[in-house]
Structure 1
């Protein structure tokens, strides 16, 4: 069977032919056929990446949003190393299953270490403990997802983040047609695994999922339309499921030592609430401190807090003579805090202080690094919140999530 290429392809593509049995319909996938497939596509890997540059740039942006520059990175199925280089790691190792692909990566990016490994067996050089393990579409091709994830266990800690992307199974027919008409890489037989399946395997292997979602409903560049659809559709229930990419991030489940907590209470003219608010804060973790930031109150708020300080050794006061705004008060509280966990509690007790242990629990268990609560999903009194405020709260939460994901991903 001869591999076809679109008009204008390079001479090397015209000479390119599919090895017998590699990815052919009716031929079972095996570890050997997977290795042969990647040996087969290695010479034209960069050609197809350039041809579908929009898609690969967006995939790079997605993964960069979860990987901090200057970290140590291990990438499985690294191809010729372009994604690894784009992540700007301080130390990096790229693993391939095909020696031909590894040779191209070494030539293209000599600053990194590249190795060839057996399919589903990520043999990591001794002493290398990555901050991130990246599998960009790798799970779509491996013979045994369980074996691959199990082989990673010796090299990861509870601080290592696994970042995985896969094709949405619903896109299977589209991808096959695109390959047949020369719009994407000639394809092999592949896995189509849902995020639910990946989550199940991860949890059985002792990992906790910290983030998952869908992205890139329009993987081809269409001016004006593609940016709009790719930004909006993944946030819309039901419609998000037409996205072409699934992503999931997970960490090894390791019990953390008891965490200390700093409860930050910014307030302005809360004389009537501050006493009750502080008194209702429960003991949290190994130690609890309560930092009240009086942001230029003109009533008796400061005096009330000073009374609390004499009765409760957990309480500390930061006081401003003029109002600087809630954001400044929160930042000041963060800078003064000594705890492992920082919790913001509004003095009006819109969130009951007794609810704070619920926020600490996923942090203590290691299943989350950031916890955000919302009361907007429950029924409210008709006058509890104006509609504009309701929308504003939702937009603020979305903006905070975006900022947390992308704060370290700027170029």
Structure 2
């Protein structure tokens, strides 16, 4: 059953690969905000590993020195290599990493819900962590699940196989069980597209208020290896 689920996701992303960059450009406002927020925590001399990199568009816009992107989809990796020849991309399953080097930052952006065994992936990532490595996980707020299904139904969002919807507690527990300590949780984006003035007010002002903040579309969980004394 697990293999069938993984194959379903693989088929989906292979099919999506040819026009994935064009699709992301349609929602440039949303993706630019994610990139801008991630870049706030990055520097140009850090090594970056992007897990589930897709066509590499997000990784290409992130700060960093050495950048490596991995993905399970051959078609996504082929597109990434064509579009971003200056970045290293590898066809690889995240729960069976074949990488000898270690990274300063590991990004898992909007893919954790598609992973068949999240804990296996997190445990696999430990082998590429330094003591000071930071992991940043981004994913959709579970409260948005019905709205995103409607967006798929009316064509505003690409249809995708059913994913796992996780709470902050779920993610933090999985990190803890895998030997990581979560140290920061951020929430962003009440309106994922650009409506002049309105998007700014809701995303930059109202979205930072305590009650409205928990309604944000994107969650960011930051973690580091648990170094035992």
TM-score grouping bracket, smaller chain normalisation: over 0.9
Structure 1, residues 94-124: CA drift from partner, whole Å, max 9, x if none? 0011000000000111111111113x42514
Contact 2:30/2:192 (CA < 8 Å) preserved in 1? yes
TM-score (norm 2): 0.94
* Residue 170 (structure 2) pairs with residue 197 (structure 1): yes
Q: Return the match for 1:56 from 11, 14, 31.
A: 31
- Structure 1's unaligned 5+ residue stretches are 1-27, 257-411
**Corresponding residue of 1:225:** 198
- The CA deviation string for residues 320-371 of structure 1, in whole angstroms up to 9 with x for no partner, is xxxxxxxxxxxxxxxxxxxxxxxxxxxxxxxxxxxxxxxxxxxxxxxxxxxx
Do 2:187 and 2:213's aligned partners in 1 also have CA atoms closer than 8 Å? yes
Query: Residue in 2 aligned with 1:40?
Result: 15
Are the equivalent residues in 1 in contact too, given 2:39–2:63 (CA < 8 A)?
no
TM-score (norm 1): 0.53
Aligned counterpart in structure 2 of residue 251 of structure 1, from 194, 219, 224: 224
Distance in 1 (CA, whole Å) between partners of 2:63 and 2:188 is 23
SS, match of residue 159 in structure 1: strand
Quote the offset at 1:235 in angstroms. Answer: 2.5
- Note the aligned Cα RMSD (angstroms): 1.7
Match of 2:72 in 1: 97
Q: Which of residues 97, 104, 114 is equivalent to 1:123?
A: 97
Structure 2 residues not aligned, in runs of 5+: none
Which residue matches 2:56?
A: 81
Point out the structure with max Rg over C-alpha: 1
Spell out, residue by residue over 1:122-143, the C-alpha distance to the aligned partner (whole angstroms, 9 max, x if none).
Answer: 51421x2110000110102111
The structural deviation recorded for 1:157 is 1.9
CA distance in 1, matches of 2:96, 2:68: 11
Asked if structure 1 preserves the Cα contact closer than 8 Å seen for 2:42 and 2:64, the reply is no
Task: Report if aligned partners of 1:97, 1:116 keep a CA contact under 8 Å in 2.
Answer: yes
Cα pair distance change 1:158/1:141, threshold 3 Å:
same
1:67 and 1:59 mapped to 2: Cα distance?
13
SS at match of 1:70: coil
Distance between the aligned counterparts of 2:40 and 2:218, measured in 1?
A: 15
Q: Is the 1:195–1:247 Cα contact (8 Å) retained in structure 2?
A: no
Q: How far apart are the structure 1 equivalents of 2:228 and 2:207? A: 33
**Bigger strand fraction:** 2
Structure 1 residues 289-368: aligned runs within 5 Å: none
- How much does 1:254 deviate? 0.9
Paired residues in the alignment total: 228
Runs of 4+, deviation exceeding 4 Å = none
Q: Are the aligned partners of 2:14 and 2:76 in contact in 1 as well (CA < 8 Å)?
A: yes
1:124–1:159: structure 2 CA closer, same or farther, 3 Å change rule?
farther
Cα distance change on mapping 1:145 and 1:175 into 2, 3 Å: same
